[in-house]
Homo-oligomer: A and B are copies of this chain.
């Protein structure tokens, strides 16, 4: 545990993905297995009762199981041993026909299902908060900046809509990947269910029904695309929030300060500073999950029917990615809810720009009445006039060079935001629409 683990962590998701929760989930799997096997007549009913009772009574110490896992190469094994020790003469019926990996994977799926419900709720919350802000500031002019240069006017609502749109798509993606992920694993040592043949497929369905999961026929012990796809989704979520974070960092710079969000961290020595701690954290979380995803994909290259070196990559990476997605969503919600324009600073930006960012608009306005090349020449001359005289504006210069239009009105930023208002409002219609 380091001193930045709270900054980049999340207590709720740490708990869901943590060792104690995994043990609980493994016991739940063993109980479901026993119940299903009893129902199918594969083990005696009284054995199942005993196993279920033992699974409910057992509260193993995560630290002890972790220690044993280091020797065994897989946590499930020590848990099974502890469970059997509680089952007395029925011990032989516990974990019957299963392999450690079955329990390991199914319990992981149970943990992930719980985590995904939390992430889905938070993602919906952030998406809705952004949609609401997009609507609220749909008409608030603000400069668009491309390649770190002031470009042309847009609205704050449209900016927020660009943050929100991918989140709505991520909700759709989540719905698509879940059926590929939320599956029971029960295939036995060689992936063939041989120990319980010919009833293994039937039993797998029964366990799946107990746990509310799917039950694919082909084993996924060694085909980990479902897990890795989830990693991709988590990194898409943090990446999209990282973009929002980076934008807020840049919008909050001392020289820009057009949008405020979150509570800035103070400086130990510079009283005037307000550091964009939360927005920076979103960037960090995004870069961390991006990198981890690249490593997680290495785990697809999984040898044979089971590969401990590849599984270890998953075990060590996936929980952290889930937690980071949770942390990013938590932070993003706070930023979304506290986001507000600083109108004085926005107006100051427009004033300081003196119309430069409306050069394109001026060109199009002129081109309605003259060849486009002539229009661009006039705009060029006007921009030079603006550059030469710090008190001149583009509207003023065009008033001289191309009289006949109310240039102040034509070049009012609010009049030159095109579809921005519509883009911003669109985000509100559900907040989930792609």
Contact = CB atoms under 8 A, between A and B. Distances in A.
Contact of A288 (B23, B280, B317): B317
Number of copies: 4
A395 to B, nearest CB: 14
Nearest to A353: B254
A74 to B, nearest CB: 7
A32 interface: no
B74 A190 contact: no
A431 interface: no
Contacts of A367: 92
A146 interface: yes
Contacts of A92: 367, 371-373, 375-376
Nearest to A92: B372
Given A280-B312, A294-B295, A305-B151, A217 B419 contact: yes
A347 interface: no
Contacts of A252: 148
A66 B258 CA distance: 30
B305 A154 contact: yes
A76 interface: yes
A67 B5 CA distance: 9
A148 B361 contact: no
Contact of A418 (B71, B193, B310): B193
A240 interface: yes
Contact of A423 (B67, B217, B250): B217
- Return the 5 tightest CB-CB contacts between A and B, nearest first: A294-B294, A92-B372, A291-B295, A239-B300, A284-B312
22 contacts: A1-B66, A2-B17, A3-B69, A7-B70, A77-B268, A145-B305, A149-B275, A152-B270, A166-B223, A190-B418, A194-B416, A197-B418, A201-B422, A216-B434, A225-B239, A235-B297, A269-B360, A270-B357, A271-B359, A271-B376, A275-B308, A290-B295
